[in-house]
Chain A
């Protein structure tokens, strides 16, 4: 074959663009989704108590969580993939939190931030959920009351390490699906059509 003869399937050194593109495609097919997701975690701040203040401090300029690609705090569960549950959760709040978790798109991760969200902390009462992991699949627990921003950054880095180690499965495949579900007793009737609505 002549040196500059066109061959669409050639991978010789002449086809610089083709070989480099091949490497790029290989990079993205091997590490791409994990690499991209790891560096663009979009947290949903479910902040109900003082842990939320530390969460804001983590997002602020001194401990810039944007250095880890997680600065895009989304308050819509459809747009986020990392639920940071910060603060105590009352049992009446739990169905709301579960609804929010179910609305998030796969793959999704949960950080349980602080003593109250992880175990209930000092609030050992009937009204406070003794750990959101009874109702949500928590991936990383961050201790503290509230945790330092550094500790929360360690938690985000732990999620990134989990992504690196190939745990890029959805939460049910990871064995961390919803275990218990609290559904509200009173179901809101959703109309099927505009005629029913009238």
Chain B
């Protein structure tokens, strides 16, 4: 296939001649600097940009933030997990390890005797929370977590339950009947 065009189809466009003001370049520089200076002083004077982090924190939606995991307790104080392995199956990073055992309670068949999450391997995607049929595993708005060894960053069942005790006032457990949260608002408005 050949391109079917004629020389007369081509339109040559000349560059427009610069006027006196444009040849001076100063109005253009001023026009650009006006934008720069406006942003500079807007940021410097009106908005305080820097978040003074350890003393001051940005607001956070506690319902939807995905931080460190926790393992919920139900109304009777038992661990809510039923060891169905749904979260372990859904996890894309394979960071959850569960060992189930026969439950001592009548209303469920199994419960976890071991529940380990490698917080370093986890990518905090929230798939475990989505997969959980009893809303037992949840992600908290807690992100201030660093570790000095890989061993201490593997959270076992006791530690995950401890995270629940520490964050249950900030973010109460989902209501399994409706699978949602009551309104808890931003973190900086929580008492």
> Which residues of chain A have a CB within 8 Å of any CB of chain B?
61-64, 67, 115, 118-122, 124, 131, 133, 139-145, 147-151, 153-155, 157-158
Closest 4 CB pairs of A and B: A145-B123, A118-B120, A119-B121, A141-B147
- The answer to whether B93 and A150 have CB atoms under 8 Å apart is no
Main secondary structure of the interface of B (DSSP, over half): loop
User: Which residues on B sit within 8 Å (CB–CB) of A124?
Assistant: 93-94
User: Which residues on B sit within 8 Å (CB–CB) of A140?
Assistant: 146-148
List 6 A-B pairs, Cβ < 8 Å: A119-B150, A121-B121, A131-B150, A141-B146, A141-B153, A151-B146
Question: Does any Cβ of A come within 8 Å of B29's Cβ?
Answer: no
- The answer to whether B118 and A119 have CB atoms under 8 Å apart is yes
Please indicate which of the listed interface residues A119, A139, A145 has the most CB atoms of chain B within 10 Å of its own CB. Answer: A119
> Which residues of chain B have a CB within 8 Å of any CB of chain A?
43, 49-54, 57, 92-94, 118-125, 143-150, 153
User: Which residues on A sit within 8 Å (CB–CB) of B54?
Assistant: 153, 157
- The answer to whether A118 and B150 have CB atoms under 8 Å apart is yes
Which single member of B43, B49, B123, B150 contacts A122 (CB below 8 Å)? B123
Question: Measured between alpha carbons, how far is A67 from B123 in the docked complex, in Å?
Answer: 28
User: Which residues on A sit within 8 Å (CB–CB) of B143?
Assistant: 144, 147-148, 150-151
Which single member of A133, A139, A154 contacts B150 (CB below 8 Å)? A133
- The answer to whether A62 and B145 have CB atoms under 8 Å apart is no
User: Which residues on A sit within 8 Å (CB–CB) of B57?
Assistant: 150
Asked whether A67 and B93 contact (CB < 8 A) given A118-B150, A143-B153, the answer is: no
Which residue on B lies nearest to A142, using beta carbons? B146
Which single member of B43, B49, B122 contacts A143 (CB below 8 Å)? B122
- The answer to whether A67 and B50 have CB atoms under 8 Å apart is yes
Which single member of B50, B94, B120, B124 contacts A61 (CB below 8 Å)? B50
- The answer to whether B52 and A143 have CB atoms under 8 Å apart is no
- The answer to whether B146 and A158 have CB atoms under 8 Å apart is yes
User: Which residues on A sit within 8 Å (CB–CB) of B123?
Assistant: 115, 121-122, 145
User: Which residues on A sit within 8 Å (CB–CB) of B93?
Assistant: 115, 121-122, 124
Distance of A83 from chain B, by nearest CB (Å)? 16
Which single member of A119, A122, A155, A157 contacts B120 (CB below 8 Å)? A119
Question: Measured between alpha carbons, how far is A118 from B51 in the docked complex, in Å?
Answer: 27
User: Which residues on A sit within 8 Å (CB–CB) of B49?
Assistant: 61-62
User: Which residues on A sit within 8 Å (CB–CB) of B125?
Assistant: 145
Distance of A169 from chain B, by nearest CB (Å)? 15
- The answer to whether A154 and B120 have CB atoms under 8 Å apart is no
Which single member of A63, A119, A120, A154 contacts B145 (CB below 8 Å)? A154
- The answer to whether B121 and A115 have CB atoms under 8 Å apart is yes
Which residue on B lies nearest to A117, using beta carbons? B120
- The answer to whether A122 and B92 have CB atoms under 8 Å apart is yes
User: Which residues on A sit within 8 Å (CB–CB) of B148?
Assistant: 139-141, 158
User: Which residues on B sit within 8 Å (CB–CB) of A142?
Assistant: 146
User: Which residues on A sit within 8 Å (CB–CB) of B53?
Assistant: 63, 67, 149-150, 153
Which single member of A145, A150, A151 contacts B122 (CB below 8 Å)? A145
User: Which residues on A sit within 8 Å (CB–CB) of B118?
Assistant: 119
Please indicate which of the listed interface residues A64, A131, A141 has the most CB atoms of chain B within 10 Å of its own CB. Answer: A141
- The answer to whether B150 and A141 have CB atoms under 8 Å apart is yes
Distance of B188 from chain A, by nearest CB (Å)? 14
Please indicate which of the listed interface residues B53, B54, B125, B153 has the most CB atoms of chain A within 10 Å of its own CB. Answer: B53
Question: Measured between alpha carbons, how far is A142 from B150 in the docked complex, in Å?
Answer: 10
Asked whether A141 and B120 contact (CB < 8 A) given A67-B52, A115-B93, A122-B92, the answer is: yes
Which residue on A lies nearest to B149, using beta carbons? A141
User: Which residues on A sit within 8 Å (CB–CB) of B94?
Assistant: 124
